[in-house]
Structure 1
Amino acid sequence: MINARNTAVKILKQVLYNNAYSNTVLSMYLNREDLSKKDRALVTEIVYGTLKYKYTIDSILGSFIKSNLKKMDVDIVNILRMSIYQLRYLDKIPEFAVVNEAVELSKKRSIKLSKLVNGVLRNYLRNKDNFIREDKGNKIDRLCFKYSFPHWITELFITQYGESTGESILKNSNAVPKITVRINSLKAKYEQVWNELKKNGYDVEKGIVCKEAVVIKGGSNIESNPLFRKGYITVQDESAMLVANLMDIEKNMIVLDLCSAPGGKSCHIAELMNNTGKVYSYDLYENKLALVKDNAKRLGIENIICNKMNAERYAEKLSGTADRVLIDVPCSGLGLIRKKPEIKWNKDQQSIDSLIKIQRNIMLNSSKYVKLGGKLVYSTCTLNKMENGENIKWFIKKNPEFKLEKLDYGDFGNIIYHREGYMTILPNDNVDGFFIAKMIKYR
């Protein structure tokens, strides 16, 4: 148990203090350290749970610790954080075990600080009923504490979407995500893969939105499954699958994907074209393009061509060459919080404002690559309207040769179809938050 919790402490340090991605560093440690299946599950639970509820946990710790948490030993702070998470949000671990394990972990760092850990946790247990807090403070403060979001994100969602929808976004962004896979039509049929997954002991259900989606509700690591290794399936959220499905892809097209890594959408487009035409996948970094190449090779895709390019810089050679241009632009990622809870803590309003300039530069350049009658598709994994609808309105005003095409994929409850034609997908138990707009160059 101590080994598992010690691993969790190391991962939290990397994510919260070294800006590492939770999924990447968690995978690295789980593959590197000798942990049982039970301990691997515990580490995953503790890491994601602590990141998810950090705001609430830190608010509670602030009631018992006089010094600034930012000035304390980071390992001790993370031991306290993950212990409060277990005591407050998990009921399968006895309280005495949580406290004892925390104290033992702390002793390895400092005997003196282990006494602080013991005192804080026991003080919390004596006073835990005082931390309901749903009826205290103003509306934003209550929501911040209840759903564990920083003030600026809470205010952004409530201001942009209204109190009811905004609170729903906060709640659903804390949902435990399921794994969804896309069946590769180049190699397999849906029924074939479905039966094979069930035969291998996976608990599966059909996708909610996309016909090529299978939701994995339970089973072993999907990436170690032979179906994945053979390229019959690839992991992709249904919101991301919608992008290629809405691009009106036809065989033998020329398609540019300007921000392509790790290649999920490029590969989906190539599959829809049945390995005809050309998909030019660009990215700023060679190492990220390697991921696109690896995915394409595994999936048996032969019509993807990868090249390094900065999408903010205009490339004359691409002018008027593409039937479709996809720009899945760098964004704040506020729709992905259920999978990457550290987004709550490593983003701020200033960093988002700087992203908007990048997004608009990419839009202006990419529009010049579209043929007459071709289409430009803009997508993000954020819910911030300034990065989404406001960018589209700005672009159309500057580029009247483009007009929005109305998107409609059916009624799924969590999809907002805006009167301008673009769509916002709100996060829920099944899908990430997303935004998609499609524009045709009509003159």
Structure 2
Amino acid sequence: MSNSRLVAVTIIEKVLNENAYSNIVLGLELNKSELSDKDKALVTEIVYGTLKYKYTIDKILQHFVKNGFDKLESFVLNILRISVYQIRYLDKVPSFATVNEAVNLTKKKSNIGASKLVNGVLRSYLRETGEKYYNEENDIERLCFEYSFTKALVKLFIKQYGPQKAEEILKGLNYKPDVTVRVNTLKLTYKEIWEKLIENGYNIEEGYASSEAIRIIKGKNIENNILFNEGNITVQDESAMLTAPSMDLKPNMKVLDLCSAPGGKTTHIAEIMKNTGIVLAFDIHKNKLSLIEENIKRIGITNTTCEAQDATEYVPDLFEYADRVLIDVPCSGLGIIRKKPEIKWSKNIKDINNIIDIQRRIMDNASKYVKKGGVLVYSTCTLNKDENEGNIEWFLESHCEFKIEPVFFGEFDNIKYNDKGYVTIYPNEYMDGFFITKLIKS
């Protein structure tokens, strides 16, 4: 197995065994490797693909390792996982070559016995590629296997959205995301940035839902590009790009962003306000403030300051301070599985329920910071209704001075405008799952 596969296994080990974030550890490992751009792309494909289809892959492996699956050496198990992923989902490498490389790496990094096991399992799988590994009469098992989600998450989506919409969500969360960038019109026009990206060799398309978005279809790492380094563009999903415009921002306003790291929405707020007024960006994690400050400096923003602050703790000095308050609250992240597939395995229902109390404490504090006549925007990157609609209904019952003001982003198949005024964005090939509600204080 080539060095690229070893790097892929190393990354998966850290994600699954050490709870590392896939995007962060992938970047670190690729940067310190000496792999070619082609091999780096293959590692990225294998890592994200294996994490995405882990449930399905494990069901297949359990069919062939009937006894002792849970006792397999982690490194060996992950060699098996990336190999099944390549055989089942990739056409780039012949199956026999995948098997041979897996056996050789196991022999080198583990022992002869383990290499024989890997050889036997993979060759048995190649002989039985038409085998069914789940009960075809059980729709839950079918959805779990076909889309590679845990039963708990499949049941959650079915309970909240019904079988048909749940399957659409599962499908949407498995799309491979393109890189999307937001243009910074403080420096250049959309047309100028578009032309410069083409000059730099990028294959690009217009955004799907946001007028400020450009999709990068093909090209080198965008964060190594001069347009990014000079602050002309910011990498951001289109769902997140809709948040700041929903705040009805005006020049010279006072704005609070209570959960701001890494700063994508914060900088968007400042851009829309044309660098006027005051933007205060808070985050509980002091070490993450440097990310916001880096983005602010790179983009050329001068109206924003950053400070470490726990959004669940009330700050009396901020009472009715702000014209606009954004709370993009910490959440279960079930809407961004396209980009962080390990969320499928790192979240359980208990974790999801525990976070709701934190969200409501943030909502309660934020309500006190908004001036009368001001706007509070609540957003999440999850599709769990308890964190979305459930929290809004709780908030309105206990904060009668607020009412929902509907927002409209255009007619799109994946954007649902609820009769009560909040917006759910379903994941598709262009956008992550997201939730946005605009609230007015009387």
Shorter-chain TM-score range: over 0.9
Deviations 1:41-67 (A, max 9, x none): 111111001000000000011111133
The aligned residue for residue 117 of structure 1 is 118
- For 1:128 and 1:420, the matched residues in 2 are separated by 49
- For 1:297 and 1:131, the matched residues in 2 are separated by 54
- For 2:404 and 2:191, the matched residues in 1 are separated by 36
In 1, are the aligned partners of 2:208 and 2:430 still within 8 Å (CA)? yes
The aligned residue for residue 299 of structure 1 is 299
Please give the secondary structure, in 2, of the residue aligned with 1:157.
helix
Please give the secondary structure, in 1, of the residue aligned with 2:255.
strand
- For 2:67 and 2:377, the matched residues in 1 are separated by 50
Deviation of 1:92 (Å): 2.1
Write the letter of the residue equivalent to 1:293. E
The aligned residue for residue 351 of structure 1 is 351
Deviations 1:184-241 (A, max 9, x none): 0111100001011111110101111111110100001000111000100010011001
Please give the secondary structure, in 1, of the residue aligned with 2:324.
strand
1:33-432 equivalences in 2 (<5 Å): 33-108=33-108, 109-131=110-132, 133=134, 136-432=136-432
Q: Would you identify which runs of 4 or more consecutive aligned residues in structure 1 move more than 4 Å?
A: none
In 1, are the aligned partners of 2:258 and 2:283 still within 8 Å (CA)? yes
Please give the secondary structure, in 1, of the residue aligned with 2:242.
helix
- For 2:178 and 2:132, the matched residues in 1 are separated by 30
Please give the secondary structure, in 1, of the residue aligned with 2:383.
coil
- For 2:411 and 2:173, the matched residues in 1 are separated by 21
What is the root-mean-square deviation in Å for CA atoms of aligned residues?
1.0
Alignment TM-score, normalising by the size of structure 2 = 0.98
Deviation of 1:70 (Å): 3.3
Deviation of 1:84 (Å): 0.5
The aligned residue for residue 31 of structure 1 is 31
In 1, are the aligned partners of 2:59 and 2:133 still within 8 Å (CA)? no
- For 1:208 and 1:34, the matched residues in 2 are separated by 36
Write the letter of the residue equivalent to 1:198. I
Count of residues in Structure 1 that have an aligned counterpart in Structure 2: 441
Deviation of 1:68 (Å): 4.3
Deviation of 1:298 (Å): 0.1
Deviation of 1:392 (Å): 0.2
Alignment TM-score, normalising by the size of structure 1 = 0.98
In 1, are the aligned partners of 2:324 and 2:376 still within 8 Å (CA)? yes
Please give the secondary structure, in 2, of the residue aligned with 1:326.
strand
Q: CA separation of 1:301/1:68 partners in 2, compared to 1, >3 Å: closer, same or farther? A: farther
- For 1:112 and 1:369, the matched residues in 2 are separated by 64
Task: Mark the runs of 5 or more structure 1 residues left unpaired by the alignment.
Answer: none
Deviations 1:311-341 (A, max 9, x none): 0011111001000110000000000001000
Write the letter of the residue equivalent to 1:164. Q
Task: Mark the runs of 5 or more structure 2 residues left unpaired by the alignment.
Answer: none
- For 1:9 and 1:295, the matched residues in 2 are separated by 32
Write the letter of the residue equivalent to 1:110. N
Write the letter of the residue equivalent to 2:294. D
- For 1:62 and 1:22, the matched residues in 2 are separated by 25
- For 1:233 and 1:131, the matched residues in 2 are separated by 47
Write the letter of the residue equivalent to 2:176. V
Identity of aligned residues (%): 58
Deviations 1:11-46 (A, max 9, x none): 000001100000000000000011011111111111
- For 1:281 and 1:194, the matched residues in 2 are separated by 29
